[in-house]
Amino acid sequence: MQRSLSFERIYPILLAASSAIAAWLLDFALPTDATKELLAATISFGAILAGFIGTAKSILMALPAALLTKLRTSTYMDDLAGYLSTALTGSLITSALSVVGFFSLPEFFKHWYPALWLGSLVYAGISFWRASRIMVLLLKIDPSKI
C-alpha cells in the first residue's frame, strides 16, 4: 500500500517532467499559424480546471461528518488536501505560462518555452484527474456504512 501511495504522490510530476524533457529534446514547437488561439484556449482550460478544483474543495467541506472524521483520523485528508492544492497550482501555472506566451516571449525564452508549456499542461491535467478521481470515489461512499 505504501509503495502505491508513494507513486500516486509523484506520478503527475514524473509525467510532466518526462513530457517537458521529451518536448525539449525533440525540439517541440507550438504551431506558428495558431499559437495565439492555442494559448488562449489553454488559458481558459487552466481557469476552468481551477474553478472545478475550487468546487471540489467546497464539496469536500460538505461531506458527511462521519466521513470527514474518518478521513482526518486516517491521515488521508492531508494527501487529499495536497492533491487538490497541486491540481489548483498546476492549473494556475498553466494559465500563467500561457498568458506569458500569449503576449510575447523574449528571444532567449522561445527555445524552451514550448517544453515548459507542455510540461505544465500535462501536470495540470494529470493532477486534476488524480484529485477528481479521488473526489468521485469519496462521493460514492455510502455514509450509512461508515
Q: Around Cβ 12, how many Cβ atoms within 10 Å?
A: 23
At CA 81, angle to CA 40 and CA 16, rounded to 5?
A: 45
How deeply is 30 buried, as exposed, middle or buried, from its count of CB atoms within 10 A (0-12, 13-18, 19+)?
A: middle
Q: Which domain holds residue 135?
A: 2-145
- Per the structure, the count of domains in the chain is 1
Quote the CA–CA distance of 94 and 44 in Å, as a whole number.
10
Inter-residue contact 60 to 84 (CB < 8 Å) = yes
Q: How does pLDDT run along the chain (146 residues), one tens digit per residue?
A: 456 878 888 999 999 999 999 999 998 988 888 888 999 999 999 999 999 999 999 988 888 888 888 888 887 888 888 999 999 999 999 999 999 888 876 666 677 899 999 999 999 999 999 999 999 988 888 877 77
